[in-house]
Amino acid sequence: MSSTSSVSTPTRTIRIGSRKSQLALIQTHWVRDELKKRFPEVAFEVTTMDTQGDRVLDVSLSKIGDKGLFTQELEDGMVQGDIDFAVHSLKDLPTRLPEGLMLGCVTEREDPADALVMHSQHQDKTLKDLPEGAVIGTSSLRRLAQLRHHFPHLQFKDIRGNLNTRLRKLDEGGYDAIILAVAGLRRMDMGDRIHEILPPEISLHAVGQGALGIECREGDDDILSVLQVLSHGPTTQRCLAERAFLRELEGGCQVPIGVNTTLDAADVLTLTGIVASLDGQQMIKNTQSGPADDAEAIGTALAKQLRSQGAQAILDEITAANRT
């Protein structure tokens, strides 16, 4: 879209919604600055909001629910017309969006893998070398289940707070290591804290991890046309497959579900997914491939395949446990 388009008049102001955390603002300011380059005559204003996930820090994510923990307030702002679109870490955006809202754009993905950040006393070790009883911090049931499966001799402790807070808790000695997203550390210019990038064989990543998802109102063609300059096709296809997989399983923060996607030169998309029990004892895993244009169908098919392999029993057990 050219900057002379009718949506880009000198008096036009576009309002962007963001969480207040440092990482959220880095991501939102990147989106704002990229759009300014394309549309220099448009004013882009950032409005920040606290979400429930930001305010409730003394309870694990899995216990406070998974319905828009980091998105609802921003979504309310769009519905009410206070903001025009919101920038999310795509992994935080539910697969079922409120009526009238849509996923308008997915940006090019940073490395979606999980990263091990080690306490200074263990700099000479890898994850598998940590001594029995070493304490690993993570707030993700997905990471927890997979690491329990591979490293049953380690202990795991919930950790909440923004990225800086988690790193401080590690450095103060509350943990021997913590698990964070590679993407977040790199976007915060803290890539030097990455001690080890966990391979998919150890930890399949979260759905949408590493990508930004920009949510907007359905039918807002002016905003959609602006956002398309940031859309990244291969990332979008991979993330649509992952989100369809999660949507079919009806999972969220309360269910250990992990994925990994690849897209080859022939546009064949391969999606690997797992559903794990909370204790890591059961892991249902499989892979599905197909044309990238059928991304959502691939995700749905893989979810149904895992259900037929026994994933449904795990999901039912976790759902029952969450009700008690």
Q: What is the pLDDT of residues 288-318, one digit of tens each?
A: 999 999 999 999 999 999 999 999 999 888 8
Question: In this structure, what token pair is assigned to residue 94?
Answer: 């539910």
**Residue in 277, 276, 301, 305 with CA at minimum distance from that of residue 291:** 301
Given the residues 84, 92, 176, 220, select the one marked as catalytic: 92
Give me the chain's average pLDDT, please. 90
Q: Over 70: is that where the pLDDT of 61 sits?
A: no
pLDDT of residue 255: 83
- CATH 3.30.160.40 in the chain, residue ranges: 232-324
Q: What percent of the chain has pLDDT over 70?
A: 88
Q: Mutual orientation of helices 22-38 and 163-171 as an angle, nearest 10°?
A: 140
| Domain 232-324 bears CATH identifier 3.40.50.300 | no
- CATH 3.40.190.10 in the chain, residue ranges: 1-108+211-231, 114-197
Q: Over 50: is that where the pLDDT of 85 sits?
A: yes
Question: What mean pLDDT is predicted for residues 169-178?
Answer: 97
Question: What mean pLDDT is predicted for residues 106-135?
Answer: 97
Flag the least confident range among 44-53, 221-230, 288-297, 304-313: 44-53
Active site residue 58: no
Helix (H, G, I), strand (E, B) or coil at 205: strand
Number of CB atoms found within 10 A of residue 199's CB: 11
Question: Which CATH number describes the domain made up of 114-197?
Answer: 3.40.190.10
Q: What percent of the chain has pLDDT over 90?
A: 81
Question: Which CATH number describes the domain made up of 1-108+211-231?
Answer: 3.40.190.10
Q: Are 235 and 212 in contact (CB under 8 A)?
A: no
pLDDT of residue 162: 86
Confidence class for position 321, pLDDT limits 50, 70, 90: confident
pLDDT of residue 324: 63
